[in-house]
Structures are given as C-alpha cells and as structure tokens.
C-alpha cells in the first residue's frame, strides 16, 4: 500500500481552533495563535460546520479602503470566512483528500464521524507530513518556478498583491540576487492584523505604505537543491514550522516547493 494511503482518522488534528461567525476577527486571531494554526473552523448552532476562516482570507480583506479605518474589534468572522466548506468522513484516505485540496484549491478539510459530528481538521501540513517517509522522489520532480522574488525594501502591501495574483504559499527574499530569507502568507497577514490592531486609524494608511518586507521576513528558512530527496526536504519544512522551502542553485532562488506542490504530487497517487 502507498505511503500516502492513510485514513484521515490517523492524521487529523483532534484539537484545533473553532469559532462562531459572530466572533470578532481579533478573537479568531487569538484562538488561531493559541493553537499555532493559520485557520479555524466556523460552527453554528449544534456545532454545525458553517465555514472556514484562514489568515489568507484575513489578508485579502484587511488593508482595503473599506476596512483599514475600522476598529479590529468591529470586524467579524462572518465577513471574512468561506461558507459551506467541503468536509470528509474519517475513513477517507489522504490521497482522496489531497485530490480534493488540489482540484478545489483549498488548504484544509473538516473531518466528521458517521453521525456528521465534527471530530477533526486535516490541513495540507498533516497530509504533507506523510511525504517524510517517501523514497526516491526528487525535488526537481515537483519544483515550481519562482513567479516573483521580493527584496527587503519591497512594501508588504505589494507582497499581498503578489500572493493573491500568483496563488503561492511562499516567496523568496533576495539581496544582490542572493537568498536572504522568505515571506509566507502568514507573515503578511500577521503584519496587516497588527497594523489594524496597534496603529490609530488616522495613521494606518501612512504606516501601511512604510511597512517593508525586511521587517517581517523570516531569515532561518529551509532550502533545497533540485537533486535533494523530497522526504528530507519535507522534514526540514515541518521542523521549521513553515509552509515550504526555497530551491536554490549557487545561493540564488530558482523555485519553490511548498505544501501545495506536495499535495499535488500525493493527489496523483493510487490507493486500493
């Protein structure tokens, strides 16, 4: 049986953020932080699953003209969440889940039991963790070319536009064409949230235009060579608690391998 043909019940998160659509974004962010996740399941009466809210959803809508001057406590989950998410039963396998994630471009799936009760959450991370046991798969087989690179002087708001335009999880940051760090959606979302939370509304526009990548990027990031094995690189990504690795040659970024590329690879596997 394939390394990836594992039931969701074996890899699901049993403890994860749960919020209500009427909760504030501030509360939802606090719950995500406590669990160390970038998303929360939204439930209604009788714990019925009504949506998913992610940091990407928050990144999309913060810093807009209609939201930037609004107090963060007045912004609610209902305005940011994705309603009626796909859900899967516990006995579904990781390959099917990855196929759904890849074809529908979603990063997580609530997991239910045979009584339709919410029992867990599976994200790209849990499924990608199965790749740590893979053998003989090289990074060059799933590398994604870098659609853009950032510098430390680039504006955070421009990085937000690039994430939405290219639909990737991570961008390399360079100085003199050499890799010096990386930025993910989480860093951009966190920066925009803190701007809204900490800065007086009269000064937010100015501060937004001043905010630079060098202030939010991560320097200690996983890197990979095209000839590296996926299993080793997947372990490095998980150990660093990030979403991907930058593929380099001569210290210059030539591509990325993130949970999205790993999920696509797994989605093409076959289970009995």
Last residue of a domain, one of 115, 133, 151: 133
With tokens 């913060």, the residue in question is 62
- 76: CATH: 3.10.580.10
With tokens 């990836």, the residue in question is 4
Query: Is residue 234 domain-resident?
Result: yes
What are the backbone dihedrals phi and psi of residue 97, each rounded to the nearest 5 degrees, phi first? -60, -40
Q: For residue 86, give its domain range.
A: 8-133
Query: Is residue 270 domain-resident?
Result: no
Query: Is residue 251 domain-resident?
Result: yes
Same domain, 176 and 99: no
Q: Report mean pLDDT in 10-residue bins for the chain, 272 residues.
A: 87 98 96 98 94 97 86 93 97 97 98 96 98 94 96 97 96 95 98 94 92 97 98 98 96 96 96 84
Query: Is residue 113 domain-resident?
Result: yes
Per-residue exposure over 77-99, b if at least 16 CB sit within 10 Å of its own CB, e if not: beebbeeebebbebebbbbebbb
Which pLDDT score, from 0 to 100, does residue 109 have? 99
Same domain, 147 and 189: yes
Last residue of a domain, one of 101, 133, 165: 133
Which pLDDT score, from 0 to 100, does residue 1 have? 45
How many whole angstroms separate alpha carbon 161 and alpha carbon 105? Answer: 18
Same domain, 100 and 166: no
Cβ atoms of 163 and 216 closer than 8 Å: no
Same domain, 48 and 153: no
Last residue of a domain, one of 114, 133, 152: 133
Query: Is residue 249 domain-resident?
Result: yes
Spell out where the chain has E strands: 18-20, 39-43, 49-54, 82-83, 88-89, 108-112, 118-123, 144-145, 150-151, 170-175, 178-184, 223-224, 244-249, 252-258
Same domain, 70 and 183: no
Same domain, 118 and 220: no
Query: Is residue 1 domain-resident?
Result: no
Query: Is residue 2 domain-resident?
Result: no
Confidence (pTM): 0.94
Which pLDDT score, from 0 to 100, does residue 44 have? 93
User: Could you give the number of structural domains in the chain?
Assistant: 2
């Amino acid at each position: 049986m394939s390394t990836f043909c594992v039931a969701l019940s074996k890899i699901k998160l049993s403890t994860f953020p749960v919020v209500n659509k009427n909760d504030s974004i501030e509360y939802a962010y606090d719950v995500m932080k406590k669990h160390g996740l970038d998303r929360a399941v939204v439930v209604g009466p009788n714990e019925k699953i009504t949506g998913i809210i992610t940091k990407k959803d928050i990144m999309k809508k913060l810093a807009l003209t209609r939201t930037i001057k609004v107090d963060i406590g007045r912004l609610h989950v209902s305005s940011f969440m994705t309603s009626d998410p796909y859900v899967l039963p516990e006995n579904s396998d990781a390959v099917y889940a990855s196929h759904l994630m890849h074809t529908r471009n979603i990063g997580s799936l609530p997991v239910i039991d045979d009584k339709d009760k919410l029992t867990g959450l599976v994200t790209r991370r849990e499924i990608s963790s199965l790749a740590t046991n893979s053998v003989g798969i090289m990074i060059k087989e799933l590398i994604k070319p870098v659609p853009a690179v950032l510098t430390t002087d680039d504006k955070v708001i421009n990085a937000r536009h690039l994430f939405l335009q290219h639909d990737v999880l991570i961008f390399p940051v360079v100085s003199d064409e050499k890799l010096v760090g990386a930025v993910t959606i989480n860093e951009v979302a966190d920066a925009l949230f803190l701007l809204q939370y900490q800065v007086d509304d009269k000064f937010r526009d100015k501060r937004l235009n001043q905010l630079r990548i060098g202030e939010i990027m991560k320097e200690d990031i996983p890197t990979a060579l095209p000839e590296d094995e996926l299993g080793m690189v997947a372990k490095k990504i998980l150990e660093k608690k990030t979403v991907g690795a930058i593929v380099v040659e001569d210290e210059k970024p030539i591509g990325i391998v993130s949970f999205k590329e790993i999920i696509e690879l797994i989605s093409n596997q076959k289970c009995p």
